[in-house]
Amino acid sequence: MTEQLREIGQRLTALREIMEYSCQDMAARMDMDEAAYRAYESGAIDFSFSFLYNAATILGVDVLDILHGESPKLDTCCLVRKGEGFDIMRREAYDYKHLAFTFRNKKAEPFMVSVAPDNKGEKPVLHAHDGQEFDYVVSGCMKIHLGDMTYELREGDSIYYNSAVPHAMEAVGNEAAKFMAVVMK
C-alpha cells in the first residue's frame, strides 16, 4: 500500500461517513462486493478512474475531493500550461494529468493520459463508469478494448463511446501512447 492510496482511502471513508452511508450501502451503490469496497477504503488496492468517478458521483463531490482533499474553487476558467495539470498516478502503466482540476461544478473531466507499453501480452482489466467519453490520440498508437470489441487508434484518431461499457486502453509497440480523454457526466 502506498501513502497516496492510504490517504485516498481515508478521504473516501470520511466522505462516506459524512453522507451517513455504511460500507455495505456504498458497495451496493457502487454495484460491487463489500469486501472489495472495503479494500479500496483501506488503500489495499489501487483505484481505477471508473471507481473514483462513480464514488465521487454517489458522494456528490468532485473527483479531486477524493484524490487531493481540496475542492475546486474556480468557476470562470481554469488555465493549465503545457505539460502541467494535476498529476494522478494510479497504476504503473498510466499517468493522468487532470486539465480542469481547479474548476468547480464541471460537466466534463478532461485529462491528458499517457499509457506505457505493457509487454506482458495480457488484456488489461476493463472498467466502466456512467456517462460518455471522448478519447483523441495525440501521439503513439493504442488499443482500446470496449466490451468485446478492440480498436487500434493512431495519432489523430479519436473515439467517442458510452463509458458504461467496460473499457481499457493499452499502448501498442514499444513507446507510450498519449491521448486526451474527456469524460462527460
Closest CA to 56 of 97, 95, 98, 109: 109
- The reported pTM is 0.77
Q: Which has the minimum average pLDDT: 41-50, 52-61, 125-134, 166-175?
A: 41-50
Q: Which amino acid is present at 162?
A: N
Q: Strand order of the sheet with strand 149-154?
A: 149-154, 141-146, 167-171
Q: How far is CA 75 from the centre of its chain?
A: 22
Banded model confidence at residue 46, pLDDT cuts 50, 70, 90: confident
Pairing assessment for the beta strands 94-98 and 167-171 based on DSSP bridges: unpaired
Which cell goes with 111?
485529462
- Report how far residue 39's alpha carbon sits from residue 5's, in angstroms, rounded to the nearest whole number: 11
Closest CA to 86 of 108, 63, 107, 106: 63
- Report how far residue 78's alpha carbon sits from residue 75's, in angstroms, rounded to the nearest whole number: 8
Q: Which has the minimum average pLDDT: 40-44, 134-138, 145-149?
A: 40-44
pLDDT tens, residue by residue, 98-114? 999 888 888 999 999 99
- State whether residue 51 is helix, strand or coil: helix
pLDDT tens, residue by residue, 143-176? 999 999 999 999 999 999 999 999 999 999 999 9
- Report how far residue 115's alpha carbon sits from residue 170's, in angstroms, rounded to the nearest whole number: 6
Q: Which domains does the chain have, with CATH numbers?
A: 3-67 (1.10.260.40), 86-184 (2.60.120.10)
